[in-house]
Amino acid sequence: MPALSTVTTSGYSAYSERKQVIDDKKNFTSDLDDQIRRWGLRDAGTGYNIVSVFGSQSSGKSTLLNRLFGTNFEVMENARRQQTTKGIWMSRAKSSNILVMDVEGTDGRERGGESDLDRKFALFSVASSEILIINMWEHQVGLHKGANMTLLRTVFDVNLGLFGKKVKEGTSNRTLLLFVIRDHVSQTPLSILQSTVAADLARIWRSLHKPPELKNCRLSDFFDLAFVSLPHKILQPEKFEASVALLRTRFVNKDQEGYLFKSAYHKRVPADGLSFYMNNIWKRVLNNKDLDLPAQHELLSQFRCDQISSAALSEFYEIAKSQKRPLEAGHVVEGIGSMMKSWQSDVLTKYDREASRYHQQVYMRKRGELVDAMNATFSTLFLGQLKNLHRACLIEFEQQVVKGMKGAKYNFGDVVSNTRKRCQEKFTNIAEEASIKGMDWNWRIELESLMGEVQHIADQFRKDETKRMLNVIERKFKVNISDPVESALNKPAADMWDNTLIAFKNALLQGEETYMAKATSCNCTDDENSASLAELRMRLWQALRVKIDEQVAEALVLNRLKCYFEERFRYDESGVPKVWKPSDDIDGVFELAKAETLQMVPLYSKIAPSDARNAFKLPENSANTADQCEITSLLVLSDAKVEDLRTKFSRDADAHYMEVKRSIKTEIAQIPRWVYALLILVGWNEAMAILFNPIYLLLLLAMFAILNFVIQFKLSRPLYHAASTAFAGILEQNHGMLRMQLVRSLAKRD
């Protein structure tokens, strides 16, 4: 079937484009759906209206439509009088969702009286339009052919055959026949003209051959009648435009009392299916010259039910999409169960209201398909809600446990238990709310999975809490053990390791009691407690070893040995420094003090308490790595390190011994006092000369000040280096001058 062209007029937008729906060769356009999209009505659903115009050829139908709806249908030129509208054209009204059909005029000489095509156009328009505008002139009122009564008889006959059964069943839509009486310039009131036309219509209706079951049907069961008159367009242009503007408001203003597009006239065809619907109608019209459309009732029912179902589903999907987006984004939609039930009720109510008047088997089958389609969407939403709820509950559980553990005093077991209970209640309440009765949805499996993951997170929290407790206990242990270890190892003694281990055991016992108190609130198992206590003992012993290693550093041990030695060598029993005399047994005292001090060195080499009850041994399974084996070892200093300490201490002790010896020799080699008296006697005059001479005295004081400055700021070595450098520079310069002088002398001699 050839595609028909779309005609536009310069200055009009795409909304004002006119489309030839059926051409003069009885072909239906193939791209009406695209044109509806360009008109902006593709997604309008049923939010649009259709109006058609009937009338004799060259009676001003196109002009009337252009004035009423702002369309741009082609109009007859004044210079010649001939057919302008061929077939059926459609356009969208300006600023409203109204589709306007301009139907080819009747009784045209170009068709040569082809009444069958007029009947087909009439049937197509009746089945498609909500309002049929009958365009007639005032002087044609009362005429039979001039007033299109022949065409109206065809419309009545076709409508009776097509929808008569529906009227009997009470399921047919009515159509509005709007009679527009043109060039009303006479004194005859509109009411008289209306009565005349209505009487002619009633007579035509009575003359129709009706089946027995439709014998009592009235014209009003199929059609509503409305009448309006318009002044003469040329003689009374201002009144004509005013009347047209007033009539236009009855098409577009829904709040106006005389609004014409009533819901009873609507065909309930979604805009996105209008092309398909009209195409099928036209095919039936072409293939059924006798208009035997009741035989197609089931097919029509299937089409209409499909259309109604599609419209309902389209609206349903649009509403569901608004909640599907947050679900896809990972959010939990509150009250989604109530929304789904409301959507289901609204969709089924709408479907039942519009589709129940069609064939019952088709209606029920399509209703089941509609329910299945909605249930598929509901299942997707329900599963998405469960998935997001699962994740949200896990996140909330973790956050609430962390929040509950921020207080100074808290019971970990109570925090986890209460949070788990709230998590389960929240999931159960929301899952039950999201469920729809009659659906085989099982959310308890998801709940079991959630509780399993909650338990896993709780176990991880318990492990983290246990580690945190061990860290806190270890930090507190380091603080408590620091002073006792330093005090015990500060002075070498046989019981220093006993004191160290006693302090360690007390701190360890306190740490274990603290752990057990916390472990009870965490609901730790016996195996977990055993493993944690073993780790605690290892970590505290490691902390002790770190502290011991700090205290047995070489410098500290040598300093302690030095102090121990000096107490026995340089001080007496009262702690007073000894004044050695040449007659004292210095060698004996030195050897004894040195020997006693050297005996203290091995004490630092190994943690060996004098009382075996004070010994401490870690569990065997705790030393499972090379580093831990080194930590658990009681050896502190190796034999080589002990020997090195003994050697360094011996050197320091020997130095102290030599110092004492030198002090005694210095005292023995003291200068006699008479020498000092002789020096004073001989140098008295020179001293007096210097003291009583201001110049010498100032020079002497300056020399003492410079000497004191150099000594105070330790500048002797820098001054020595500076003087040496200067002296070397002077010598180098003199050597250069001598070489130069020698070169000159040799040059003169030559």
CA distances from 208 to 98, 106, 211, 216, 501 (A): 33, 21, 10, 12, 123
Half-sphere exposure of 311 (CA within 13 A, CB side): 24
Contacts 24+ apart (CB under 8 A), 287-292: 289/116, 291/119, 291/123, 291/158, 291/161, 291/162, 292/161
Question: Known binder of ligand: residue 61?
Answer: yes
Dist CA 397 CA 416 (whole Å): 9
Query: Which residue in the block uniquely carries the two structure tokens 């939990």?
Result: 332
Q: Do the beta carbons of residue 607 and residue 495 sit within 8 Å?
A: no
Q: What is the DSSP string of 714-746?
A: T-HHHHHHHHHHHHHHHHHHHHHHHHHHHHHHH
CA distances from 199 to 125, 223, 582 (A): 24, 14, 164
**729 is written with which tokens?**
């520079």
Q: Do the beta carbons of residue 645 and residue 554 sit within 8 Å?
A: yes
Q: Do the beta carbons of residue 217 and residue 167 sit within 8 Å?
A: yes
Dist CA 437 CA 450 (whole Å): 23
Question: Known binder of ligand: residue 60?
Answer: yes
Q: Do the beta carbons of residue 632 and residue 541 sit within 8 Å?
A: yes
CA distances from 393 to 332, 389, 397, 452 (A): 10, 6, 6, 12
The DSSP bridge partners found for residue 100 are 51, 91
Distance in angstroms between the alpha carbons of the first and the last residue of the chain: 132
Q: Is 40 left (phi over 0), alpha (psi -120 to 50) or beta?
A: left
Residue 95 φ then ψ, to 5°: 65, 25
Q: Do the beta carbons of residue 157 and residue 78 sit within 8 Å?
A: no
Question: Known binder of ligand: residue 59?
Answer: yes
Contacts 24+ apart (CB under 8 A), 608-611: 608/497, 608/634, 609/495, 609/497, 609/498, 609/501, 610/494, 610/495, 610/497, 610/498, 611/498
Question: Known binder of ligand: residue 379?
Answer: no
Of residues 353, 38, 284, 291, the one with CA closest to residue 159:
291
Question: Known binder of ligand: residue 195?
Answer: no
Q: Do the beta carbons of residue 458 and residue 418 sit within 8 Å?
A: no
Q: Do the beta carbons of residue 129 and residue 51 sit within 8 Å?
A: yes
Dist CA 31 CA 42 (whole Å): 13
Of residues 271, 315, 316, the one with CA closest to residue 43:
271
The DSSP bridge partners found for residue 101 are 52, 90
**525 is written with which tokens?**
């198992």
Neighbour tally for 578: CB within 10 Å: 13
Question: Known binder of ligand: residue 55?
Answer: yes
**305 is written with which tokens?**
């039910």
Question: Known binder of ligand: residue 62?
Answer: yes
Question: Known binder of ligand: residue 57?
Answer: yes
Dist CA 354 CA 370 (whole Å): 14
**1 is written with which tokens?**
């079937």
DSSP class of 174: P
Q: Annotated binding residues for GTP, as ranges?
A: 55-62
Which residue numbers belong to the known binding site?
55-62
